[in-house]
Amino acid sequence: MNIENSKQNGDFKSPFAVEIKNINKSFGPVQANKEISLNVSGGTIHGIIGENGAGKSTLMSILYGFYQPDSGEIKVHGKLAYFKQPSDALRLGIGMVHQHFMLVPNFTALENIVLGAEGKTGLYKGLQNARKKLEKLKQAYGLEVELDSLTENLPVGIQQRIEILKALYRGARVLILDEPTGVLTPLETEQLFEILLALKSEGVTILLITHKLHEIMAITDEVSVMRQGKMVANTLTKHTSPEMLAEQMVGRSVLVNNKYELQSIGKVALSVEQLGVVDKRGFDSLKNATFDLHAGEILGIAGIAGNGQSELLSVLSGITQPSRGFFKIEEHLFDAKKNPNPRLMRQLGVSHVPEDRHSEGLVLQFQAFESVILGYENNKKLGNGFFTNPDTIQAYCSQLQEAFDVRPQNPRLYSSQFSGGNQQKLVLSREISSTPKILLVGQPTRGVDIGAIEFIHKTLIGMRNNGCAILLVSVELEEILSLSDRILVMNSGEIMGIVPKITATKAMLGKMMAGIPIEEAKEDKK
Amino acid sequence: MTDFWFQFVLTLDSTLRVATPLIFCAMAGIFSERSGIIDISLEGKMLMAAFVAAAVAYGTGSPWIGAVAAVLVSIIASLIHGFACIIHRGNQVISGLAINILASGLTVIIGIALFRQGGLTPTLTKTSRFNSIELPFIEFFELHTPIFGVIYKHLISGHNILVWAAIVSVAITYYILFKTTFGLRLRAVGEKPEAIDSAGISVTKMRFQAIIIAGILCGLAGVYLSTATGAGFVKEMTAGKGYIALAAMIFGKWRPVPALFACLLFGFLEAVATRIQGIEFILIGEISSDLLIALPYLLTVILLAGFIGGVTPPRAIGQPYIKER
Amino acid sequence: MQASRLPRYVDIVLIPVLNLLTALFVAGIIIAIIGENPFTALSVMLKGAFVYKGGLGYTLFYTTNFIFTGLAVAVAFHAMLFNIGGEGQAAMGGLGIGLVAISLGSYLPVIIVIFLAILGSALFGAIWGVIPGYLQAKRGSHIVITTIMFNFIASAILVWLLAGMLMAPNQMSPETVSFSDGVALWQFHEIFNKLGFDVGRSPLNLSFVIALICCLLVWLLIWRTRLGYRIRATGFSLKASAYAGYRPETIIIVTMAISGGLAGMMAVNEILGVQHRVILNFTSGYGFTGIAVALMGRNHPVGIIFASLLFGALFQGGAELDFEFQAITRDMVLMIQGLIILFSGALAYMFNPALEKLFLRNELMMRPKND
């Protein structure tokens, strides 16, 4: 339908589905996009890669009309286009699949797809018509979705399909996917890629935003690299390599496989037996976890986000209660009857760098010196009895900021005013300064700049070398491989196995992350 | 027995009368809150409308012109609420509270300025009010069907047009909310405004439409108070009815039909409370009507606390919509 | 509560003053529309509040009420709880005083009765705050709705008791017997008259001092204690609070106890300071005004003292309007209060974008070019 439109509208047929020229966009003092230009050929899969904060999402938001650029122009099928709002872009056939789904949880799949494009026939008739049209779309692209299910009850992979159907239903011929695989299992990712290839073969143009190199290599025809708001490279995918892309992404060669020296392992610091957590909805989010954590080792927890790692951290740090099994620190045993709590865990020498520093690790509205005592405000050095002493705390904060090179070095600055890397250093400084015996770390370098990543990695290794037992959860497999002494892989709340670093390969870990038990993953390797 | 039966029908009749403004306001609350805007200003809008309806009906002699003016003023109050919480992303509870307090002050001040009767409006004559409508065939039914006859004469007949309008408003609310495109979008905007925005529909526009409808309905509630059941405006004549309606809306879990029943239940409690004063019951003795009046509030607290089935308010309620970066 | 990009003085002085002026400006227009001179009205109010004999006393008397209810709202705000149940908590506080004073009044020394009565007001208010707090923390009910409902329930309980069990014999109106002699807080005009100063009669009593002490205590609590730290952390981020191990549920309940207790103590001023018996509706909306006070005072005790003074003057000056004008009465105060809540509460940040533009432009111009 929209192809016809574009034929009618355009006087000539451009080879490009989308042309972007000299786009600029600022948010206050931050320039998110600088002089961006990009041509996307029709009927191809075009990858856009870059680190967090490189400006990919902003650019795409401009392309589908959510933001308006400060300057620059966009052409769709050779014709100049002005988008005041997403519906303008949709009218020209540009659809967006968001990273965070734009679905109403208590609507059915059908209602969600039709929302905003109900037609003028009345709701009942509109839904009927849509159902017919959708059956065709579903078959054409293998987008299997139960249209009458409540969206909130569907797995994320299916919810994503609803988003894709939503865009196609509105006649999208250019589909933007923002980090579509972040929430998917490997199997779901595979299925998604099949769908994307089917779409491509039908002439749909796909813009795939990601920060995962292997996805770019696997599926795209062309790739553009963004760094710090600028477009730094445009090539055919077959002419490039992961190493090259990585270098372009960060602006210098990265230490992808930075080998840190292994070290002899000490005695058991934490032992976990048959530990299980049942969440509020009654799901077993952590099942039968059994392992030991030794002094002087880093045990990496690999897995796709949402496979029980967060629950593991949460229960070991005392925030949630175990439902089954127990864990033991020295002679202290915690189970469903004898509950742990964060305060007690801290007293036992357990520190916790949480996965989400914005909502957990820091209080963004607090000044740095206040955030830096979160959970430690009882410390006798920082006040007496009932009261706290702001001067002492500020001095203490300055000390930490200096030791961890937190910039700007100002205890009175609000926590929200620091960059991602410096916020993480604030959290790390607080948790390490209590000289823990056990350190639980979640996503230590998420959204952190390269310089800070190196600092954080070195700090963790340093802690390990001093005999601290570290449990490291990260969705970045590279990070796990580079830092860990042993690697534990999780899938749907279960431990798939523990692999010593020396024998671990990415392929094998990948299979385990997808739910294949360790024995089979090993055999397959041969 | 017949006396008890007769009393019971009369109680139901006054239940309906008491419940009418509650029903209007509860439907108003459903529109507003389903779109994501907390509306504790039902009370204030109703009060303003009651005043304007009486004042204009007195001035023009027509209850209809009074009603139109009242509805307009109630819409303006809604728009102020929207200006504060939709455009300026102000706190919705605070804005609603401001409108309530403003209404208490303004109605009296303007009333005094206009009529010099200490905040009252002059008593309305019969022609400038909405009068009760006696239905035909009362004698016929009384003669041939004694039981239905009593119901027909005392419960069904003899209501003014606004009572009927209130009941119709429930059906309309239900239809709009669940059977129209507008309703689908309205429910979506209160659950997940991002979904509406990304579908190319203005969240701001949707929410303004919702609160304008809320304004109309609150306006009718006010019209009912001062020009249908009452014969003029009395200072603070809403007396917390807006809050009871809010409670009824929650009690009905933000759904029109259950909310209607909640309004009728709360209306019934009040109707009973006024009738049992001073009556000794066997075994229990005298039931305090003072405490009975508080029962709706207590029931709502108990329901909200999840002791009798859970309630989930619209997910996006109370949060101003901000485009995220 | 976001860190603002504006200079501090703009945030804490200029914006509240601008909001207040906008509210007064709109009020002035309304007065002009109904045919009176807004400036005359203002001067009548100012004279009534500060100049006439006893006026200042009355102003400070009302101020006392607002300090208590304002602090109550502010403390809850720091935990991101919206306590609009000040009316009910104050009413229950009055009941607490009444129960202590009536039951123990003739058995114990006066000083002890007064002390226990004050405790009783705080305790009863606290209970009326803790229940909604508990329901929010443990059962997930919305505290705004619960506290609204609790206002009505409290009022019904008071009517029931004062027109029933607690009603004074041989009385027609619903109120308790008067407390025993001496079970009352000293009034300032008596003290001053004894000292030989001639001041006008006013209900201003020792509660004013208690209110100021409460301001200091609240400041210490929020910004200088571990509990205050935990309250603020919980208010800003429930997740961070759980991470740190503060048990947000406990914090919410404790905060609501403190908040309810402060609101309950408003009854000390009205009941123990003036009425010396429990009457109906003595809260007269002061609980709601507390919200306006906390908003204007930016939840800080110093701000609350100033905002309370403003509202105290409004209430006292408003009473004066009744005598001087035909067309305007003290209901004018309600209207102004509504406008202030609208402009300093709901529309508090209306001027921010414009001011940010103004100040940030200046800042850019002042910055050296090579930056």
Q: Quick one: A337 and A441 in the same domain?
A: yes
Tell me how crowded residue A9 is: count the other CB atoms within 10 A of its CB.
Answer: 14
Higher pLDDT, A174 or C348: A174
Q: What is the DSSP letter of A66?
A: S
State residue A263's pLDDT score.
62
Do residues C313 and C46 lie in contact, with contact meaning Cβ atoms separated by under 8 Å?
Answer: yes
Name the C residues in 244-273 with CB < 8 Å from any A CB: 244-245, 247
Neighbouring chains of A at 3+ CB pairs within 8 Å? Answer: B, C
User: Minimal CA–CA distance to A461: which of A450, A470, A453, A452?
Assistant: A470
Give the burial class of C21: count Cβ atoms within 10 A of its Cβ; 0-12 exposed, 13-18 middle, 19 or more buried: exposed
Give the burial class of B59: count Cβ atoms within 10 A of its Cβ; 0-12 exposed, 13-18 middle, 19 or more buried: middle
Residue C354 at interface with chain A, using a CB cutoff of 8 Å? no
Chain B residues whose CB is inside 8 A of the A27 CB are 325
Task: Please give the residue range of the domain that contains residue A339.
Answer: 268-359+436-525
Please determine, for residue B85, whether its predicted confidence score (pLDDT) is greater than 90: yes
State residue A506's pLDDT score.
74
Q: Quick one: A213 and A115 in the same domain?
A: yes
Structural domain includes residue C111: yes
Structural domain includes residue C82: yes
From CA A444, how far away is CA A424, in angstroms rounded? 7
Tell me how crowded residue A84 is: count the other CB atoms within 10 A of its CB.
Answer: 9
Q: In degrees rounded to 5, what are phi and psi of residue A303?
A: 160, 160
Residue C6 at interface with chain A, using a CB cutoff of 8 Å? no
Higher pLDDT, A118 or B312: A118
Structural domain includes residue A69: yes
The secondary structure of A122-147, three-state, reads: CHHHHHHHHHHHHHHHHHHHCCCCCC
From CA A217, how far away is CA C234, in angstroms rounded? 45
CA of B89: how far to CAs of A210, B84, C108, C342, in Å? 33, 6, 55, 12
Structural domain includes residue A365: no
Q: In sequence order, which residues have a C-beta less than 8 Å from that of residue A211 and are 6 or more positions away? A: A49, A50, A51, A52, A179, A249
The CATH number linked to C241 is 1.10.3470
Please determine, for residue B1, whether its predicted confidence score (pLDDT) is greater than 80: no
Amino acid occupying residue C323: F
Amino acid occupying residue C13: V
From CA C254, how far away is CA C228, in angstroms rounded? 11
Structural domain includes residue A219: yes
Q: Which residue has the tokens 């997740």?
A: C239
**Mean pLDDT score, C335-339:** 91
How many Cβ pairs within 8 Å bridge chains B and C?
156
Structural domain includes residue C73: yes
Alpha carbon of residue A414 to chain centroid: 25
Do residues C250 and C56 lie in contact, with contact meaning Cβ atoms separated by under 8 Å?
Answer: no
Q: Which of C225, C229, C239 sits opposite A360 (nearest CB)?
A: C239
Structural domain includes residue A241: yes
Residue C1's pLDDT band, with cuts at 50, 70 and 90, is very low
Strand, helix or coil at B283? Answer: coil
Q: In sequence order, which residues have a C-beta less than 8 Å from that of residue B51 and are 6 or more positions away? A: B107, B110, B111, B121, B222, B226, B233
By a Cβ cutoff of 8 Å, what residues of chain A touch chain C?
A: 317-319, 341-346, 352, 354, 356, 359-366, 370, 373-375, 377-378, 383, 386-388, 390, 414, 416-417
Name the C residues in 280-299 with CB < 8 Å from any A CB: none
Name the B residues in 11-40 with CB < 8 Å from any C CB: 38, 40
* Chain length of chain A: 526
**b/e per residue, C216-245, with b = 16+ CB within 10 A?**
eebbebbebbbbbbbbbbbbbbbbbbbbbb
User: Minimal CA–CA distance to A161: which of A145, A141, A185, A184?
Assistant: A145
Structural domain includes residue A372: no
Name the B residues in 259-298 with CB < 8 Å from any C CB: 288, 290-291, 293-294, 297-298
Q: Nearest-CA distance from B158 to chain C in Å? A: 32
Structural domain includes residue C332: no
The residues with which A275 forms a beta bridge, in sequence order, are A289
Q: Nearest-CA distance from C332 to chain B in Å? A: 6
Q: What is the DSSP letter of A434?
A: T
Chain B residues whose CB is inside 8 A of the A85 CB are 200, 202
Q: Quick one: A183 and A273 in the same domain?
A: no
User: Minimal CA–CA distance to A108: which of A162, A138, A149?
Assistant: A149
Does the distance separating the beta carbons of C240 and A360 come in below 8 Å? yes
Structural domain includes residue C256: yes
The residues with which A441 forms a beta bridge, in sequence order, are A353, A472
Cis status of the peptide bond prior to B193, with omega within 30 of 0: no
Do residues C19 and C348 lie in contact, with contact meaning Cβ atoms separated by under 8 Å?
Answer: yes
Task: Please give the residue range of the domain that contains residue C149.
Answer: 55-306
Locate the chain A residue with the closest alpha carbon to B194: A102
CA of A181: how far to CAs of A185, A190, A303, B19, B157, in Å? 8, 9, 13, 54, 65
**Helix (H) or strand (E) run with residue C209 in it:** helix C207-224
Residue C236 at interface with chain A, using a CB cutoff of 8 Å? yes
Does the distance separating the beta carbons of B38 and C327 come in below 8 Å? no
Most confident stretch, A117-131, C43-57, C206-220: C206-220
State residue B309's pLDDT score.
64
Structural domain includes residue A258: no
Q: Which residue has the tokens 């580079």?
A: A482
CA of B274: how far to CAs of A393, B202, B288, B293, in Å? 63, 48, 10, 9
State residue C311's pLDDT score.
92
The residues with which A38 forms a beta bridge, in sequence order, are A20
Does the distance separating the beta carbons of B108 and C334 come in below 8 Å? yes
Locate the chain C residue with the closest alpha carbon to A366: C233
Does the distance separating the beta carbons of B40 and C148 come in below 8 Å? yes
CA dihedral C34, C39, C45, C46 (to 10 degrees): 170
Radius of gyration of chain C (CA): 22
Q: Tally the domains of chain C.
A: 1
Structural domain includes residue C154: yes
Chain A residues whose CB is inside 8 A of the B325 CB are 27, 58
Q: Which of A87, A88, A103 sits opposite B192 (nearest CB)?
A: A103
Q: Nearest-CA distance from B41 to chain C in Å? A: 12
Does the distance separating the beta carbons of A370 and C229 come in below 8 Å? yes
Over residues B140-176, the pLDDT tens digits come to 887 887 778 778 877 888 888 999 999 999 999 999 9
User: Minimal CA–CA distance to A470: which of A271, A259, A296?
Assistant: A296
The CATH number linked to A445 is 3.40.50.300
Task: List chain A residues with pLDDT less than 70.
Answer: 1-13, 29, 51-53, 250-264, 281, 305, 523-526
Does the distance separating the beta carbons of A387 and C229 come in below 8 Å? no
Strand, helix or coil at A224? Answer: strand
Q: In sequence order, which residues have a C-beta less than 8 Å from that of residue B251 and are 6 or more positions away? A: B258, B259, B262, B265, B266, B296, B299, B300, B303
Residue A106 at interface with chain B, using a CB cutoff of 8 Å? yes
User: Minimal CA–CA distance to B138: which of B126, B146, B130?
Assistant: B146
User: What does pTM read for this prediction?
Assistant: 0.86
Q: Tally the domains of chain A.
A: 2
Q: Quick one: A164 and A72 in the same domain?
A: yes
Does the distance separating the beta carbons of A319 and C242 come in below 8 Å? yes
Q: Which of B97, B109, B305 sits opposite C335 (nearest CB)?
A: B109
User: Minimal CA–CA distance to A425: which of A437, A438, A409?
Assistant: A409
State residue C13's pLDDT score.
83
Q: Quick one: A233 and A275 in the same domain?
A: no
Q: Quick one: A246 and A272 in the same domain?
A: no
Residue C224 at interface with chain A, using a CB cutoff of 8 Å? yes
Structural domain includes residue A170: yes
Q: Nearest-CA distance from C111 to chain B in Å? A: 35
Pairing of strands B280-281, B285-286: antiparallel
Residue C139 at interface with chain B, using a CB cutoff of 8 Å? yes
Structural domain includes residue A341: yes
Range B2-304: architecture per CATH: Orthogonal Bundle (1.10)
Neighbouring chains of B at 3+ CB pairs within 8 Å? Answer: A, C
Q: For chain C, give the mean pLDDT.
A: 89
State residue A251's pLDDT score.
62
Amino acid occupying residue B181: T
Structural domain includes residue C13: no
Do residues B101 and C341 lie in contact, with contact meaning Cβ atoms separated by under 8 Å?
Answer: yes
Amino acid occupying residue A127: L
CA angle C274, C279, C282 (to 5 degrees): 70
Do residues B48 and B222 lie in contact, with contact meaning Cβ atoms separated by under 8 Å?
Answer: yes
The torsion region of residue C12 among left (phi > 0), alpha (psi -120 to 50) and beta comes to alpha
Amino acid occupying residue A44: T
The secondary structure of C81-122, three-state, reads: CCCCCHHHHHHHHHHHHHHHHHHHCCCCCHHHHHHHHHHHHH
State residue A9's pLDDT score.
42
Structural domain includes residue C161: yes
Residue A126 at interface with chain B, using a CB cutoff of 8 Å? yes
Locate the chain B residue with the closest alpha carbon to A98: B198
